[in-house]
């Protein structure tokens, strides 16, 4: 193998290295935030503050997916079913006890 061939292989490997390294990074844990209210509330800020106090920072080492039921309890089941199907790390339910029940039932195949 000549010097040019060796350098060509080496540079190709070096160029692909960052891509493979990025692909192997573990996914961030995902929090599924569900709120019955129709609009944002102070609860989102409280969640971020609590996470911050325990060493978590949204976008850096945890992802938060926000979902509002817009005051419609019928939407809760669909939101929770989607979060359970996608296997989020945890579901944070605000103002909605039904989410806890639905989550448990879906997770246990009921």
CATH number of residue 86's parent domain? 3.40.50.2300
In a domain, 21, yes or no: no
Give the per-residue pLDDT at 77.
Answer: 81
Q: Which domain holds residue 54?
A: 30-107
Residue 68 has φ and ψ, to the nearest 5°, of -115, 135
In a domain, 2, yes or no: no
Q: What confidence tens digit (pLDDT) does each residue in 61-105 have?
A: 999 999 988 888 788 888 888 998 999 998 888 776 666 666 666
Q: How much is the pTM? A: 0.66
**Domain count along the chain:** 1
Q: What confidence tens digit (pLDDT) does each residue in 16-68 have?
A: 445 445 555 668 999 999 888 877 778 888 889 999 999 999 999 999 999 98
In a domain, 94, yes or no: yes
In a domain, 35, yes or no: yes
Residue 106 and residue 110: Cα distance in Å, rounded? 6
Both tokens of residue 106?
A: 């879906």
């Amino acid at each position: 193998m000549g010097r040019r061939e060796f350098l060509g292989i080496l540079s190709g490997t070096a160029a692909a290295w960052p891509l493979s390294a990025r692909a192997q990074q573990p996914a961030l844990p995902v929090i599924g935030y569900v709120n019955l209210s129709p609009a944002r509330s102070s609860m989102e800020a409280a969640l971020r503050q609590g996470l911050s106090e325990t060493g978590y920072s949204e976008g850096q080492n945890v992802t938060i997916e926000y979902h509002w039921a817009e005051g419609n309890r019928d939407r809760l089941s669909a939101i929770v079913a989607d979060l359970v199907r996608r296997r989020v790390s945890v579901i944070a339910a605000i103002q909605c006890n039904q989410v806890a029940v639905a989550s448990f039932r879906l997770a246990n195949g009921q």
